[in-house]
Amino acid sequence: MISIIVPVYNTADELKNSVKSILKQTHSDLEIILVNDGSTDNSGEICEELARLDNRVRVVHKENGGVASARNRGLDEAKGDYIGWVDSDDIVSPNMYKALYDTALKYDADIVQCSHTRFLDKLQIEYPDELPSLKILNNIESLKRIYTTHYTNSCALWSKIYRRCLFDGLRFTEGAAYEDDEIVPQLLQKAEKLVFFESPLYCYIKRENSIITAPKQKNTMALTSHLEKRMLRFKDLDEELYNMCLRHFYQYLKNTLCNEFYLHTPVQEQAAGFLKKHYSTFFKISNKYDKITLTLLKCGMTDFVAKHGFEPIQKLLSKLKKGG
């Protein structure tokens, strides 16, 4: 059985269509766990209505604790051999879980991942006889894909199924945003085999008022902390992977520091602290351009860079190359 966990919070307008797309799955051996995280609209009533229509649906009502808390409660309730995740405003192809599960059985995979789309008309409905661009990867190869392919697809929780045992001893950090970015790399690291194929079987519908799209400083600060912890976990795992992670974290800090939206905020202060903390490590792996940028940022010239961009640095480099 596959346990599909759906955290629900104030998505009454989208919830029915989302769950009905799961109920249309051609893989029938599944349970759908709707975790109503203290919704203040009528999402809870809709959950109960859906449960009455189909006995594969189970509803859990809890006090509002955030999406990570709802995910953890769903894991505690799950009975399936594999775990799947769907956001309560997204849509899945009727063949998504059959494709993922059949592939998991065929290759004895711990994680199977498909692609996703943001447009309903591009959602793939047919189950292809041969899965396109199928790749069989070990854990290190899977982790490297985070930095060499579509970042969102690699770190997204919902584009995959996971062998249930991968969650043993592992739970979402409650109260922190970007929980996917924190936990998915840890799941990839624990897996012995991941299979990925390109079919877009999941439609991610980005709402303007969602927790991630809301311009909240604490969300950005949570992601920054997740990225640092990930970098430290990879340090002794694989040298190439660690260097890829270092470069990604440096670029993220640079962009955050020079984003005018975050000037003179706790977000900028946190990013500056991380940059100074890991300055010598970043410096070792940087090219000449990044070394100059890194030094300017360490010296507190973020306002200058944010205002003028990187053009002055590029001109300086050009002069250095010409011996000027």
The CATH homologous superfamily for domain 2-203 is Spore Coat Polysaccharide Biosynthesis Protein SpsA; Chain A (3.90.550.10)
pLDDT of 215 reads 53
Q: Are 6 and 32 in contact (CB under 8 A)?
A: yes
pLDDT at 211: 53
Predicted local confidence at residue 287, as pLDDT: 85
Pairing assessment for the beta strands 91-92 and 82-85 based on DSSP bridges: unpaired
Q: What pLDDT was estimated at residue 196? A: 96
pLDDT of residue 106: 96
Q: What is the pLDDT of residue 36?
A: 98
Q: What is the pLDDT of residue 54?
A: 96
Q: Which residues pair with 2 in a beta bridge?
A: 30, 82
Tokens of 103: 């592939």
Q: How far is CA 139 from CA 39, 190, 195, 241, 272, in A?
A: 37, 7, 10, 11, 32
CA distances from 271 to 243, 249, 283, 290, 304 (A): 19, 10, 16, 16, 16
So what's the pLDDT on residue 316?
64
Domain ranges within the chain, ordered by starting residue: 2-203, 217-322
pLDDT along the chain (324 residues), means of 10: 97 96 95 98 97 97 96 97 97 97 97 95 87 93 92 89 97 90 96 96 78 69 94 95 95 88 89 94 87 82 65 64 58
The confidence score (pLDDT) of residue 315 equals: 67
The pLDDT score that the predictor gives to residue 21 is: 97
What is the model's pLDDT at position 240? 96
Signed CA dihedral, 192, 197, 202, 208: sign only: positive
Label residues 143-158 b or e (16+ Cβ within 10 Å = b). Answer: bbbbeeeeeebbbbbb
